[in-house]
A and B are shown apart, each in its own frame.
Chain A
């Protein structure tokens, strides 16, 4: 057998296609790997600076979030008062009712406090239009 018949009979075309693909992709992968090598080594050499930068960024992000979580003493006192009120209203409670009761009791800045509690997820919705304390 000779000619194209012999090539097809012995899977010549498949061998060529797959073989070329393997060789080219192998060397291309190696080429990509060594192209990145000096960059990775540069990162490794700079790892302490990078780690420090990452740590600083993380701390910055945490410090940006904590004002929401760090409640002032006034707010903390208001929380105690709100808890006493919700104990009377019942849990889960209606937010308008809580605001009405807190204004009647003369609590300082009830709307702003409730806003802070909602943002800090101290008070969370229960899915039925009422709210509850997040434990």
Chain B
């Protein structure tokens, strides 16, 4: 009888409190959004299920929890805290990115730079709300609209906030179709939305091959702290473009990135415990995340309008919204917004150029923030 009582008191049913229940509901919501509504399923499904698994109540000391040494989840979580999974994801991203459109129109890179203004604006806002500088840096990187970058920087600066920041970052990436279009419409006129981009030149293979070498040299020399992200990113791209390592590039952009995404999402979800997630800080993080996204979108658009004051060949300002790193969601929204005004206006390739630039810009900003905070 004693044994039975001991067993029952160790079950999750006995140990559960209201915070576990709430987090289980949150995990269920993510699963629903990912599976039924198809909102970023590759991210929300692992995160959602991770939240479910990570918030099952258990008796501490058995080596079960994600924060307990020698537990399976803890070993898997190492990839998050060390920044390993984001680096691997970036390797795969580089192997699937085509920089031709960016190489054909290099001035679009400036829109990617401008969109990172959301990061620094949010940094100041987070400090104003009373967050510590490292916490503010982690929250601000949500404005880069890049999940792996957000997780990487948060793991380095404020690992206790990984859960809410990752969930905020991925949630807002999934909500791009909701967040960006009103801002794009507010900041542009119909005449500007109708601007057509001229046809791009064909970029030869040699340029696409030299670009990752030049880019890694320039970016990593400028901000060495961005090496863990930009190094694998451009390596993956080089593997793709050189043509002699197609097998490796194919593996990087399929199996490797998928494995990293599964473990990244699952362990981030599992690390999101009620005592950290259900706090006023999380509300602040979610609010600041929305600000970061909005300002990033707006600053890209406004910068494009400023550039048009000096350019003979005008840029469609909608492209500024694609300067955030949310590939390919924001590029898709730019294309859709452009086509709403003119069905024959195809902005997708130019928007992808801005997207690619945003990936580089957000990784660079993360490296800069990390080097400032260390």
Contact = CB atoms under 8 A, between A and B. Distances in A.
A4 B206 CA distance: 50
A105 interface: no
Contact of A41 (B207, B215, B219, B222): B207
Interface string A18-32: 111011111111111
Main secondary structure of the interface of A (DSSP, over half): helix
Given A29-B222, A30-B218, 18 more contacts: A2-B128, A10-B132, A15-B120, A15-B133, A19-B120, A22-B364, A24-B110, A25-B222, A26-B222, A27-B110, A27-B360, A28-B110, A29-B218, A30-B214, A31-B109, A34-B215, A35-B106, A41-B204
A19 B204 CA distance: 34
B129 A26 contact: no
B123 A12 contact: yes
Interface string B94-132: 000000001100110110111011011101100111101
Interface in A49-94: none
B130 A1 contact: yes
B122 to A, nearest CB: 10
A96 B370 CA distance: 80
B294 interface: no
Contacts of A13: 124
Most chain A beta carbons < 10 A, residue from B109, B117, B357: B109
Contacts of A2: 128-130
A34 B102 contact: yes
A48 interface: no
A122 interface: no
Contacts of A32: 106
B218 A33 contact: yes
B365 interface: yes
B141 to A, nearest CB: 11
Interface of B: 102-103, 106-107, 109-110, 112-114, 116-117, 119-121, 123-124, 127-130, 132-133, 136, 203-204, 206-207, 210-211, 214-215, 218-219, 222-223, 357, 360-361, 364-365, 368-369, 372
Contacts of A25: 222
Contact of A27 (B113, B124, B127, B206): B113
Contacts of B357: 27
B127 A30 contact: no
A16 B372 CA distance: 10
B124 A41 contact: no
Q: Which of A1, A20, A29, A35 has the most CB of B within 10 A?
A: A20
Q: Which of A2, A12, A27, A41 counts the most chain B CB atoms within 10 A? A: A27
B9 to A, nearest CB: 44
Given A12-B123, A26-B364, A37-B214, A19 B110 contact: no
Contacts of B110: 24, 27-28, 31
B128 A19 contact: no
Nearest to B99: A34
Nearest to B219: A26
Contacts of B107: 31, 35
B128 A20 contact: no
A22 B130 contact: no
